[in-house]
Amino acid sequence: MIRNLRPDRSPASSLELAFEDNRLVSQLYGEFDQNLALIEQRLGVEANSRGNHVMLRGGPGPVDQARRALESLYDMLEEGKPVSPGDVDAVIRMIETEDSQLSLPTLEKKGKVRMAQIATRKATIVARNPAQDGYIRAMDRFELIFGVGPAGTGKTYLAVAYAATLLERGEISRIILSRPAVEAGERLGFLPGDLKEKVDPYLRPLYDALYDMMQPEVVERCLVAGTIEVAPLAFMRGRTLSNAAVILDEAQNTTSMQMKMFLTRLGENSRMIVTGDPTQVDLPRGEKSGLVEALHLLSGVEGIHISRFSDKDVVRHELVARIVRAYEGATGKPPSGEGPLAV
């Protein structure tokens, strides 16, 4: 339970909050009040704590944003979820984004932030920014989803997490993971080993996400039984993929023919998630990216959703976002492949 005390609507506004559960207050403030310091830095307010009371001072807008952030974080703690500086950053990002800026509205103005999440038996993944929030919600609403943007935005990780939770809930009977191997040509013959050993190095990011979401012995059992299938893109031809979550990663390295072939594999009671970065195409010069073409042709098609990420949505080390911006600036490429063919 949270109480708002002494609200002030003057241009220099102040607001006092009281949090009733003293056990949660120290977690809310963070070690050495680091969570409060982050709120101060990001929102331009003063946040002074005294026991279970917090006095917020600043402009009316920033003070209200700080209130919403603290109330949302406190709600997380009441639900038994730990709060880290990353969670504070995620809540602030959500608050700073207006409803109208989201492709899928997820916020109520002046209300508490309720971020989308994916829960498996092993882990719960909570959206870290508005782009991730819209992406997770889109996977619930659409049968075919494109996740497009730079590295480090969580496109593939969230797709695998969502597939894992569908499998655990019994909503699908299998997960199928695919990725163009060895650039776009899938020239695997020179590699040693059987098909799985040839393809595994290129699908390691998908495996890593699976092991984060599911117990290792469960993943191994599913791989042996074929409940989780890992296959290069070329081996999809002629199949109909029903009752499955199908993920195509690094889709910018598909040709037009490969992309059309893959998309037309979608069967009954299936979800298909296509991820990629149109600015990182490794196809031979002059070869059109199947992902870029699909984004152009399928924009506005009923039942298909395109979630776009930018360097602002990078959730790895903050240097990753700076690196992405530096390369885009040097090459002159617009962020996330936005151009005449990107919608």
Residue ranges of domains in the chain = 2-96, 117-337
Give tens-digit pLDDT for 217-268.
999 999 899 999 887 787 788 788 899 999 999 999 999 999 999 999 998 9
Q: Would you call 1 exposed, middle or buried from its count of C-beta atoms within 10 A (0-12, 13-18, 19+)?
A: exposed
CB atoms within 10 A of CB 244: 25
Question: Which of 156, 168, 271 is closest to 219 using CA atoms?
Answer: 168
Q: What is the rounded distance in angstroms from the CA atom of residue 240 to the CA atom of residue 211?
A: 27
Q: Decide yes or no: CATH 3.40.630.30 for domain 117-337.
A: no
User: Of all helices (H) and strands (E), which one includes residue 95?
Assistant: helix 85-96
CA distance 63 to 56: 6
Contact (CB, 8 A) for 117 and 127: yes
d(CA 50, CA 2): 15
Q: What is the pLDDT along the chain (343 residues), one digit of tens a residue?
A: 455 555 555 456 788 999 988 889 889 998 889 999 999 998 899 999 988 899 999 988 888 889 988 998 998 888 888 888 888 888 887 777 643 344 444 444 445 567 788 888 888 888 888 889 899 999 999 999 999 998 888 999 999 999 999 999 999 999 999 888 644 344 444 445 555 565 566 677 788 888 888 999 999 999 899 999 887 787 788 788 899 999 999 999 999 999 999 999 998 999 999 999 998 888 888 888 999 999 999 988 999 999 999 888 887 666 666 776 787 666 655 544 444 333 3
Q: Could you check whether 2-96 and 117-337 share the same CATH topology?
A: no
Instruction: For residue 118, give the H/E element and its range.
Output: strand 117-119
Structure tokens given for 184: 């776009």
Taking the C-alpha atoms of residue 71 and residue 66, their distance in angstroms, rounded to an integer, is 9
58 Rama sector, left if φ>0, alpha if ψ -120 to 50, beta otherwise: left
Let me know: does 2 contact 71? Beta carbons within 8 Å.
yes
Q: What pTM did the predictor assign? A: 0.69
Cα dist. 276→78, 136, 146 in Å? 37, 16, 8
Residue 187 CA, distance from chain mean position: 31
Q: Which CATH architecture does the domain made up of 2-96 adopt? A: 2-Layer Sandwich (3.30)
